[in-house]
Amino acid sequence: MSDKAFLAIDMGASSGRHVVGLFDGRRVKLEEVYRFQNGPVEVGNRLYWDVLGQWTHIRNGLYAAGSRVNTTVASVGVDTWGVDFGLLDRNDELLGNPYHYRDHRTDGMMEKAFQIVPREEIFRQTGLQFMQLNTLYQLLAMKFGGSPLLDIADRLLMMPDLFHWMLTGEKCNEFTDATTTQFFNPVERRWATELLDRFGLPTHILGPIVQPGTVLGPLRPSVASETGLTQTQVVLPGTHDTASAVMAVPAREHGDDWPDWCYISLGTWALMGVEVKQPIITEESLTLNFTNEGGVGNTIRLLKNITGLWLVQECRRIWNQAGRSWDWEDLNRLTAESPGLVSFIDPDHSMFLAPTDMPEAIREFVRRTGQSVPSTEGAVLRCALDSIAMKFRHVLGMCEKLIGRRIEVIHIVGGGTKNRLLCQAAADACGRPVLAGPVEATALGNIMMQAVAAGEVGSISEAREIIRQSFPLDEYLPQNTAAWDEAFPRFLQILEATV
């Protein structure tokens, strides 16, 4: 049997990649054929995405795939980060560059929203974690800022929807990414139009909701001709990158309603949660600020967003701007040489959303909370990683509380699995075994969803079994848990002091 080729365009907040999955019926192999840098562009104190530059990279990657793969690329699908969007007018003209979710125009916007619709009512209708970067608050920032774009917009497309439209001409809103907006009702599986009406926001710009695995059709003739992919279909994966990453979690299915495992999709962000069949929208989940996002197979990802390796990435950027030339191995060495459990930060504090100097922001937080201020680069990194691991422990307890049972194993997937220090710290802090891998989980989940849509794989459960057979996992067993147990109350005090 010849390999079937499926192409994932996996776009993260800092980089993008085109990854081909070759499936022989039993195992899947991945080959990265194109990679590019991604990130915000600052213009006039605003942060935007360079959407035309991204589109150029998408086309270049399609050409690279067609040139390097010795078989027909059966299909292609795009996944990206959540919450951000583009607007089209009635003539399908793109209305400006999409804003970056870290743009400060949403500062204070949640508080304004709660004056119109109470926080509890927003959560009752959407079940989503409150973060100022959510699409709802981006639209409110446009409304309160007097943006004319909302008046002339005809269609809102989330970022992966926008790229799928560029590829095919088809306009739709894919389920998993739609659920990141905070104006989607996960119980009724539809847009929360009544909520938008109360905010005076347009609802006619919202399109039909479609599920992962939907075949949108062939590439536009111009794109197919340019790239040589004349027989390639476009298939929706879980277009929110976390949905695709969770698709690739190599967990064993037990058939009951509640899982005994949780996942952490670890990269710039750390998305930690459980896969459930129905949303959990209760006073408790509201208090814990959990989110109910869509998953593949019409599931719900009950999870919490945690600031992940953004802290380390920004430290490295600042230090290298100052003349260092440290790579990731250098940072790991510096961290390993520094004593642990000395001081902590709240990784999700607003101080760390978009600081101009991340190392100084970490030191300032520690200083304000009366702890021992890290004096070396390694101590700053150790503080960051210990704090992330402690946040994992905190959220693990919340997950267990919401589903009413003990979680036995933690699966960590994504590029962050390369940070072995953090994976071990997660096992130590949580007192649970950690299974780390696969690294390219998001691209792999994208590819396997396409394989399911093509009928090459029978189900999501079967896809996870194939992933287990195709990629080795690293196991981290808990060590030195007593020290982490002793330090955890101190970490909780830090969280409580900075609420």
User: Considering 10, 241, 346, 386, which one is annotated as catalytic?
Assistant: 241
Q: Which residues pair with 307 in a beta bridge?
A: 269
Q: Which residues pair with 35 in a beta bridge?
A: 17
Would you say 211 and 175 are in contact if contact means Cβ atoms under 8 Å apart? yes
The CA radius of gyration of the chain, in Å to the nearest whole number, is: 22
Half-sphere exposure of 244 (CA within 13 A, CB side): 36
Beta-carbon contacts of residue 346 (< 8 Å; ≥ 6 apart): 365, 387, 391, 494, 495, 498
What whole-number distance in Å separates Cα of residue 339 and Cα of residue 43? 41
> Comparing C-alpha atoms, which of 162, 172, 180 is closest to residue 82?
180
Q: Which helix (H) or strand (E) holds 264?
A: strand 261-266
Residue 249, Cα to own-chain centre: how many angstroms? 14
What whole-number distance in Å separates Cα of residue 44 and Cα of residue 52? 19
What whole-number distance in Å separates Cα of residue 460 and Cα of residue 189? 20
DSSP per-residue letters across 191-251: E-HHHHHHHT--STT---EE-TT-EEEEPPHHHHHHHS-TT-EEE----BHHHHHHHT--P
Strand order in the sheet with 474-476: 291-294, 300-307, 269-276, 261-266, 409-413, 434-436, 474-476
Beta-carbon contacts of residue 301 (< 8 Å; ≥ 6 apart): 242, 243, 246, 271, 273, 274, 275, 291, 292, 293, 294, 295
Beta-carbon contacts of residue 446 (< 8 Å; ≥ 6 apart): 8, 9, 10, 19, 77, 79, 237, 238, 244, 247
What whole-number distance in Å separates Cα of residue 218 and Cα of residue 468? 31
Helices H / strands E in the chain, number of each: 19, 21
Q: Which helix (H) or strand (E) holds 36?
A: strand 28-37
> Comparing C-alpha atoms, which of 110, 108, 98 is closest to residue 43?
98
Token digits of residue 286: 């509201």
Token digits of residue 86: 């583009």
Identity of the residue numbered 232: T
Told to judge if 241 belongs to the known catalytic residues of this protein, a careful annotator would answer yes
3-class DSSP state of 379: helix
Reading phi first (left if > 0) and then psi (alpha if -120 to 50, else beta), residue 57 is in alpha
Active site residues: 241
